[in-house]
Structure formats: structure tokens, C-alpha cells
Chains A and B, each alone.
Chain A
Amino acid sequence: MIRTFNKGGVHPHENKISARSGIQGLPVPGSVAIILSQHLGAPAKPVVNRGDEVKTGQIIAKGDGFISSNVHASVSGKVIKIDVADDVSGYKRPAVFIEVSGDEWLDNIIRDGSVDREIKLNGTEIINRISESGIVGLGGATFPSHVKLTIPRGKKVDNLIINGVECEPFLTADHALMLEKGEELMVGVKILMKALNLNKAVIGIENNKPDAIQHLQSLSAQYGGIQIQPLKVKYPQGGEKQLIKAITGREIPSGGLPMDVGALVFNVGSVFSIYEAVQKNKPLFERIVTVTGRSVSKPSNLRVRIGTPVSALIEAAGGLPSDTGKIICGGPMMGKALSNTEIPVVKGTSGILMLPDSESRRHKILPCVRCGKCVDVCPMGLEPYLLMPLSQHDHFDALERAHVMDCIECGSCSYICPARRPLLDYIRLAKANVGKIIRTRRKP
């Protein structure tokens, strides 16, 4: 049976033009800039110095605090400086710059390419290995995976959900991964089941990827307890709350976590990285990135070393189309527009999308006609048409009462608005301000 979430949602043009392109490895670039805060939480502390020689896979920065994550060298070579680099949001972030020489991996990383099905580590060892390997959520939120797997006392998880939804238009990195690395994924899910002491898991995939559904379904016969759940195509189904609702029927309470309804969600990209970390001792230093756009000559899914500049990815996909007006890191619904192409790939980079100039600019804003479409499509049951004017007039307490903090910033409201009102812009502004007020109030 095909399932989906029931509240709101939109269906933008899918544009999955790179779906059949497979995965190609991008050659190691001449130099990389590895940002030290590629994850949610505190930036990692560098453990290398200028002039040090590093090998591929070597740890270069250690997670600092409970919610943080290790960062590893994605190339071998010499640390030329520890400085700041622009991140996708345009902020300057501390980063380790490495000049590449050769590609010498750490000796303990197994590079034979075979599928290793036997899980030798026990639950605690698995979580430790994931922590050491710097695995974070690769769907975009980049939450450290070992933190997710550390279940607080008194909480119980009975639903392990694997996110193969990929509801963002254009992006196909997860799709390609499911097609090419299905076996590894299955073993990865088994590893998570072992770490969580569960005997079942569900992989949710939207049914615009019938080949992936079929492939994993046929594999699942050999891997007991893993169910493949086809989902109706609807954005934002890849959102954690929406996916849990679609698969289990449970709703995370306002302000709550997946654990509150006994669920944990891992993106397929993260699961593959977990497989590599646990079975092959390979830390997270490369990922699959979709490079796409309707004018792009070779839409591709590339296996890219973390820290590679975006320009190298664009070159590999046939160069920057002449009509480009906007380059987006991520998908068109939630991705971030880049100001230049020297920004390095981070663990959360799922795609590079080039939009033509004609589609890059905002439309003229008209008055709200109260059509209610934003209310209709809001997956969180909010009323964006009311939140925007409240935000314009700084009514922060009214915004808090209207549960503005529930917004998941999926952008469905701005997408659907026929008057082209920038609803989400103002809701984000409100969230930043209301969030600040709530945090100040909590302080003693």
C-alpha cells in the first residue's frame, strides 16, 4: 500500500533529470578547504597544525562537546593554513586548508570494494565507531548520528525509519545511491538495527523512483526485518516529522523530537556512510552530490571529497551554462543560493543546482488575496498569511502564540502563493527573533 502524510504539502515539477546518470567519482582536486563546523552543534577543534602532512581519512579536528562531530582529511597532502572559508550561507567559518599531493589513504581503511555482510562489532562499538568517523545526517540537517543513536534513559525507540524519499525537485543523489549501493545500504540498516537492538526497519521511498523501490525490495528478501515502503510523491515528505507520520501514523508533538514517538530517522546517505565506517573503517570524507539544472550539459551524481570547491563539480558537469543566474546548494525548495563558486562542499551538500537567469529572480509582490492556499499546503497546520504581517510589525508574542517555532521552513507557502508574497522570509525572521526571546527567558 502506498502511504503519505495527510496535512498540507505541494507537488513542484520533479525535474529529476540526473536520475539515470549513475554515480561518477570526481578526481581529487588540487586543494581543499575543510570547514570545521559541517554539523549541527559546536565546531570541531583542529588537531593538526600548519605544515603537517596528513593522509586521507586522518582526523584533523575533534568534536567539541556532546553535540559535535569529528572532521577528517578528505585528501592526502600538507596543511597549508588554518583560516576561515565562506560557507554556503555566506558566513566565514574556521577551516583547514590542505594542498593535495597524491591520494594516500590511512592503512586501516579497507578499500577492496566488496560487500562485507558480517557485522562483527557490538552495539556500543558501532556507536563509538560512528562517532569517531564523523557521521552526520546527510539529508541536510547534519545532526551528528552518534548523538541520535544514544538513547536517553527512559526513552524507547521501536521504529527505525530510513529516509530514501528525496522529495526535493532535481536532486537524485539518494536515488543513485539506492540503485548502485543497495547491498551496502541493507547492511547499513542491519548495523543500525543491531546498535538499537531492533529487529525491524522501514525504508521510505517516493514512488517516482520505482527502480529503487524494486531493487531494494528484491534485496530485502535476504535481509530479514527490512521493509520497503513506497510513498506518494509529495513535498516535504522527506521532512522528519512528515516521514514519521506517513510511515507510522504518529505525530511528533509540537516542540518534540522523533524519539517522543519512538522513532529515529536516518537518511540513506548517512546509512551508507555508517556501513563504510563500521565495515570498512572509512570515516566520512566523501559524499554523493547531484550537479544539475535544465541547461547543464551533463547532469550528474558525483562522488566528491569534502572540501572540494563547487567550481570543480560544475566543471565536471560540463561547465557553467551561459544562462545561469543562480547557483543553489541543495534543492530548489530549501537549498541556499551561493554567492560564488569557490565555496567548499561540506557533509550536508546534497546537490548543486544551476537555475537560468529568467528563473532566478523573485516575482512582483501583490497584496494577499486571502485565497488560503498557504494554509492549505502548510504541513505543520500554520497560517502563513497571518504570520507574515505579524512578523512585519514585530508582534513577537502573538507569533509565539501562533506557534511560529513549529515552522519547518519547507517553503511550501511561498511556493504556492499566487500573489508571490515572501511568506517564508518573514516567518524565518520571526523565528529568529522569537527563538532569541525564548532562549533569553529560559536563562536563570
Chain B
Amino acid sequence: MSKILTVSPSPHVTSDQSVQHLMYGVVLSLVPAFLVSLYMFGIGAVIVTAISILSCVVFEMLIQKYIMHTEISIRDGSAIVTGLLLAFNLPSNLPWWMIVLGSLFAIGVGKMAYGGLGCNPFNPALAGRVFLLISFPVHMTTWPLPLQSRIQYLDAVSGPTPLGILKETVRSGATAADALQQIPGHMQLFMGQMGGSLGEISAIALIIGFFWLLYKKIITWHIPVTMIATVFIFTGILWLAEPAKYASPLFHILTGGVMLGAIYMATDLVTSPVTKAGMVIYAVFIGLITVVIRIFGAYPEGVSFAILIMNAFVPLINKYIRPKRFGEEVKNG
């Protein structure tokens, strides 16, 4: 028999799930949220998303080719995911050059400066968003209103987000109940009819994406469920203590970036803990920090900061929260 045989150590088979599958699975799961955004914000959603994805991919390619001199790996899909998630964290009327700058920061500083895929401690898309928020606070907090200016991009009719209204009202001395009168009802919030970053508004669309990710085994329930539950419980306690002063827990989980953050930003594989127990701890703290910023901080919203802060603790969590070894504790009987 003269056939040349391949010889390699076992295992000789691999699962169907590759890094590409994971990345493109995430992209696919964001389609419902994008469609809602398209309906609410119109052409701005398309422009911002397209510029963000394109510039992330191009920057990654250029950096790999001219600075790092490594193999170009844009086909793994991770730059597309970063671009898409960055766009979802931006208002749909942000000027194009700011998006390009944010993409450069996300990919260049947030990811490639650490060595590329798998090496970054912080979520690159959130790094890009926070960079823009600090650099251009006015543009980054001018939110187009839903359903009002679908064919305008930069000159869209803008207004505050529900969380912004809440913060301003409480700061001016009025109660949370006063603020809630200016805000759409829970059902509208659930569907996504509110001002906000282009991808964060629709809880229902994001939850559909979440179930798809669970079905495809791309993420597990631990981080999203724990984080949302923590926000719900913490704000619930405050609300029960002083219902006039604080908004309801349902309001808190349906507005701002809680859904997008819990399902997509906090679950980033590279920047979240490895063990299930570690994930739960990480998600609890993200939830707590989010609420602390929202209620006691200067910013109306705190999800991005909370996730980035906890990203920094992930190596520590991975060091101390280890899986229990087989036969480590002997319980016989």
C-alpha cells in the first residue's frame, strides 16, 4: 500500500464551533436589534454602523500589515464584531470622523496595542465608546429621538434618553415619579421606542439575540442573567425603600445599556472570566457598579464604565476562582 498517511496525535476530530463561527454567530444575533434601530432611527443607523465596521476592519488590517508585520487575520470576524458593537454603543447622529476616531482607538489602543485577538484586557468596543464619550461629551450625549427623523443623519431631531431625563429631574429636586411622566411606558421601552445608543434601545430584539446565542452555545446564561438580576434586585431594594425618589427596577433594566451590556459587552469571551463561578461574581459587580453610577454618580448611565472596571479584575478572578478538580475533595458514600 503506497498511500501517504497523515500521522498526528489524538484527538482526531474537532467540534463544529470555530472562532469564526463564534464571531459570525454574534453578528447574526445582532440583526434583530439592528432592524429595530433602523426602524427607529432610519438612515443614521445604517451610516454609523457601516462606517464603524469598515473602519475597524481597515484599521486592523493596516496595523497588522504596516506596524505589527503579522499575518492579516481580519477574516476571523473579530474586527467586524468590534465595529458592530462600537456602532451599537453610539448615537445614530454621530459625525463620521468621530466614528473613525473611535474605531481607531478601539482597534489600535483597545486591541492591537496589547497584541491583537485574545490579548486585550478591556473590551475594545467599550474602550472606543468611552474614549469618544470623554473626548466629545456633547456629541456623545445628543440622542436622536425615535421615529422622528428617519431620513436625516447629522441633523436628526434630538432629545435626552429616559435615564438622562431621570437624572436631570432628580437633580432638580423633583421626584422620580415626575420624571417617569415624561418617559414612554414600559411596553414602549421594552420594544425600543426611546432615545439612546443605536443598538441598545430594544430589549425585545436583544433578548431574541440572547436566545439565539444560547441556542448556538456561543455564550452561557451566567453573565447576562446575573447582571440583569443584580441591577433589578439592587434598584428594586432602593425603589421599595423610597418609591418616590427612585425609579422602578423594571425601568432600570429596560433603559440604557443594561440589556446590550449584559448580553453582548460583558460576555466578550476575551475580557470575561473563564469559570462559571467567576462569571457570576464578575456580573454581580458589573450590576452593582452600574446602579451606583446611575443613582449616585454624575453620569446618567454607568454600564460601560462598570464593565471596563470589572474587565480589569478578570485576571484576578481567573486566578482565585478555579474549577474544582476531580478527586480534590473526597466525598465517598
Give chain A's interface residues, CB within 8 Å of chain B.
7, 10, 12-13, 90, 169, 241, 245, 249-254, 256, 261, 311, 320, 324-328, 330, 332-341, 355, 357, 359-363, 366-372, 375-376, 378-383, 385, 403, 406, 409, 411-412, 414-420, 422, 424-425, 428
Q: Roughly how many angstroms separate A361 CA and B22 CA in the complex, as a whole number?
A: 22
Binding site secondary structure of chain A = loop
Assembled-state Cα–Cα distance A404/B85 (Å): 38
Enumerate B250-277 residues with CB–CB distance to A below 8 Å: 269-270, 272-276
Closest to A254 in B: B327
Give Cα A420–Cα B11 distance, bound, in whole angstroms. Answer: 11
Contact with A along B291-333 (1 / 0, CB 8 A): 0000000000000000000000000000000111111111111
Q: Is B182 an interface residue (CB 8 A)?
A: no
With contacts A369-B117, A418-B22 taken as known, whether A359 is within 8 angstroms of B13 at the C-beta atoms is: yes
* Best-surrounded residue of A13, A249, A320, A418 (most CB of chain B within 10 A): A418
Hey, which chain B residues are within 8 Å of A311, CB to CB? Answer: 1
The smallest C-beta distance from A357 to any residue of chain B, in angstroms, reads: 8
**A360-B6, A403-B325 are known contacts. Are A326 and B269 too (CB-CB below 8 A)?**
no
> In the complex, how many angstroms separate the beta carbon of A432 from the nearest chain B beta carbon?
12
Q: Does B69 contact A (CB under 8 A)?
A: no
Indicate whether A372 sits within 8 Å of B116 (C-beta atoms), given known contacts A362-B8, A366-B76, A379-B326: no
- Given contacts A378-B323, A418-B22, A420-B18, whether A383 and B10 have CB atoms under 8 Å apart is no
Q: Are B6 and A367 in contact (CB under 8 A)?
A: no
Task: Determine how close the nearest CB of chain B comes to the CB of A383; give it in whole angstroms.
Answer: 7
B15 at interface, CB cutoff 8 A: yes
- Closest chain B residue to A354 by CB distance? B5
A contact residues around B181 at 8 Å (CB)? none
A261, B117: Cα distance in complex, Å: 45
For B7, list chain A residues within 8 Å (CB). 90, 326, 337-339
Nearest CB in chain B to that of A410: its residue: B11
Q: In the bound complex, what is the Cα–Cα distance between A380 and B7 (angstroms)?
A: 27
Distance in Å: Cβ of A339 to nearest Cβ of chain B: 5
In the complex, the answer to whether A241 meets B11 with C-beta atoms within 8 Å is: no
CB of B19 within 8 A of chain A?
yes
Report how far A313 CA is from B201 CA in the complex, Å.
Answer: 63
Chain B nearest Cβ from A125, distance in angstroms: 32
Question: Chain A residue with minimal CB distance to B329?
Answer: A251
Shortest distance between the CB of B48 and any CB in chain A (Å): 26
